[in-house]
Structure 1
Amino acid sequence: MQNQKSFNGLFVGLVTLDLIYLAESPPKNNQKLVAEDYIVAAGGPVTNAAVTFSYLGNKAVVSSVVGCHPMTQLIKSDLANYQVEIIDYYPTTENPPPVSSIIVTKGTGERAVISINAVKTQVDSQAISPDLRDIDIVLIDGHQMKLGCAIAKQAKAENIPVVIDGGSWKPGFDKVLPFVDYAICSANFYPPDCQNSPEVFAYLNQMGIPHIAITHGEKPIQYLSKNEIKILKVPKIQLADTLGAGDIFHGAFCNYVLQETFTTALEKAAQIAALSCQSFGTRRWMGNQ
């Protein structure tokens, strides 16, 4: 599935260390469980997207905070294995990286996640000096908002397409949206005063974003095309694990939208995301193509 032409993507946001367990169910209070399987991998929305983008034949760079805590070696080695480069804005920080503990329920593919995200590892605006030479597309997840805003503004000035991963609304997104070309949102993304999909489409459209899509898991994707909200069906699959499916969708979308129409890019990204849901974890699907 790799491209004939390789592109360069910059992925701005959260890098975590993911501890992923496969179990019959999440534990109840005071209960101990023995997992059936586990995976340790680099995680975070743009991280999984970058790995997907790289896997599809491109050069991916993650822009975030990683640091030099001993646990970061697990992150760095995993990303190196998938040829993903890291631009680390605080490479000397000894603070531990954000860690996500995830339990995937065997049989349903549902996941339970606890994480601290990037609240303790924010990039200060004084540290930002984006270099976008040779970059073909930028993806921003909102977890490093000051960094994302600076890069989005610079990308807009240089006519580089900007994609947002709208997993959930985060304070400061309103500063990024004027520079966005593609808003790919989850059903949980609600800007201020928005309570349903039509209101989300209207809000983002008023921000001047020409291409908007809202994913709904296994349900059809809604997307705005020529001022009309349309529906795109997603593949029906035997579900094993939903973890990271949205992130993988975004990474695949960044790959395909550089080659295809908006609608076709959504369709092909949905196929990759569906493939990822048929394997445990965020990486094993790559061996199933």
Structure 2
Amino acid sequence: MSSDSLPPPENRIVVGCGTVTVDYLAAVAAYPKPDDKIRTTSLKVQGGGNAGNALTCVARLGLKPRLISKVADDAQGKGILGELEADGVDTSPFAVSEGGNSPFSYIIVDNQMKTRTSIHTPGYPPMIPDDLSRASLLSALDGASIVYFDGRVHETASIVAQEAVRKRIPILIDAERVREGLDDLLKLADYAICSAKFPQSVTRLRANGIGTVCGRLFLGTAEKIPPSELIDTTGAGDAFIGAVVYALCANMPPETMLPFASRVAAANCRALGARTGLPHRSDPRLASFLHQSSQVVVTS
């Protein structure tokens, strides 16, 4: 049986709240020194942003994501919305400002050291709670099986999270690093995905009397990528999170979920940009995981 023939999870509606951008990616032979003039080895312009990337991953895996975010009515904003919609992301909850600028990032990908450096310009005006009407919020959350937050636009995120709690919708937080308002979101979260350094930051917060940590901790090992196949790590964490969101909707056990998410993230690192390498549900590299989760759901 191919992955295409397997039905996606029944709980398919996922809501995300966070940032989207346009990424201007320039790959170079080696990172430039101050005052250098160099040429790119390749160039790509595509959508980015943590929430935009994660929900694109979710859509390609067969779920139905809705995204709460904000752009301006400029060319970049139109491009962001068009790219998300082409991938199957519902952008109806978006706020679109008249004037201002949509968020964008310049990203330098160092082919020699396999690193990426990002210079981000936030969107203006920034997203505020008034940008999301009560009707739009309720419509976005209708039928949702999980709500994901990338830890940004924290004031709007707080309102969305509180409504999700009232509706008993599970919440997943991207805890990449300590951000304003993140501790309040974590208090409402059912799941948190953190970077390797974040637990140390939380320990420091707790020492100062801020925040609590409880629950179960799962540790996963990243998939090793041969140096010849590693192209760009931009968006690897977002791909991992998107795969975890899918796995939760598919009732994957942790011992399957974590290797699956690592596989999706590794696939994404084999192409330039945060979305180019995101695998689709039909990708043969995912077949064994999808078959396992299908068997788990059927026999439970």
TM-score range, shorter chain: 0.7 to 0.9
Higher alpha-carbon deviation: 265-274 or 275-284: 275-284
Q: Does 1:250 align with 2:228?
A: no
Which of 106, 113, 123 is the matching residue for 1:108?
113
SS at match of 1:36: strand
SS at match of 1:265: helix
Q: Does 1:12 align with 2:17?
A: yes
Q: Which amino acid aligns with 1:232?
A: G
Unaligned runs of 5+ in 1: 212-223, 226-230
CA RMSD of aligned residues (A): 2.7
TM-score, length basis structure 1:
0.83
Q: What aligned pairs does 1:127-142 form with structure 2 within 5 A after superposition? A: 127-129=132-134, 130-131=137-138, 132-142=141-151
Q: Is the 8 A contact 1:49 1:251 kept in 2?
A: yes
Which of 268, 290, 295 is the matching residue for 1:276?
268
Q: What aligned pairs does 1:158-177 form with structure 2 within 5 A after superposition? A: 158-177=167-186
Aligned equivalents of 1:207 and 1:252: distance in 2? Answer: 24
Aligned equivalents of 1:162 and 1:22: distance in 2? Answer: 36
Q: What aligned pairs does 1:1-289 form with structure 2 within 5 A after superposition? A: 1=3, 4-6=7-9, 7-117=12-122, 120-124=125-129, 127-129=132-134, 130-131=137-138, 132-189=141-198, 194-195=203-204, 206-208=212-214, 210-211=215-216, 224=217, 231-238=219-226, 239-259=230-250, 260-286=252-278, 289=283
Count of residue pairs the alignment pairs up:
267
Unaligned runs of 5+ in 2: 284-300
Higher alpha-carbon deviation: 243-252 or 159-168: 159-168
What do the CA deviations read for 1:192-234 (whole angstroms, capped 9, x no partner)? 66359xx79xx87x355x35xxxxxxxxxxxx15xxxxx4322
Deviation at 1:173, TM superposition (A): 1.1
Deviation at 1:41, TM superposition (A): 1.1
Deviation at 1:250, TM superposition (A): 0.5
Structure 1 pair 126–274 and aligned structure 2 pair: CA distance change class (3 A): closer
Deviation at 1:165, TM superposition (A): 0.8
Structure 1 pair 141–287 and aligned structure 2 pair: CA distance change class (3 A): closer
Q: Is the 8 A contact 1:243 1:281 kept in 2?
A: yes
Counting strand residues as a fraction of each chain, which structure ranks higher?
1
Q: Is the 8 A contact 1:69 1:97 kept in 2?
A: yes
Higher relative contact order (CA 8 A, sep 6+): 2
Aligned equivalents of 2:240 and 2:279: distance in 1? Answer: 17
Deviation at 1:139, TM superposition (A): 0.8
Aligned equivalents of 2:65 and 2:36: distance in 1? Answer: 41
Q: Which amino acid aligns with 1:235?
A: E
Aligned equivalents of 2:113 and 2:91: distance in 1? Answer: 34
Aligned equivalents of 2:58 and 2:74: distance in 1? Answer: 27
TM-score, length basis structure 2:
0.80
SS at match of 2:90: strand
Deviation at 1:128, TM superposition (A): 4.8
Deviation at 1:91, TM superposition (A): 1.6
Q: Which amino acid aligns with 1:247?
A: D
Q: Which amino acid aligns with 1:240?
A: I
Aligned equivalents of 1:83 and 1:178: distance in 2? Answer: 31
Q: Which amino acid aligns with 2:8?
A: K
Aligned equivalents of 1:114 and 1:91: distance in 2? Answer: 23
Structure 1 pair 195–109 and aligned structure 2 pair: CA distance change class (3 A): farther
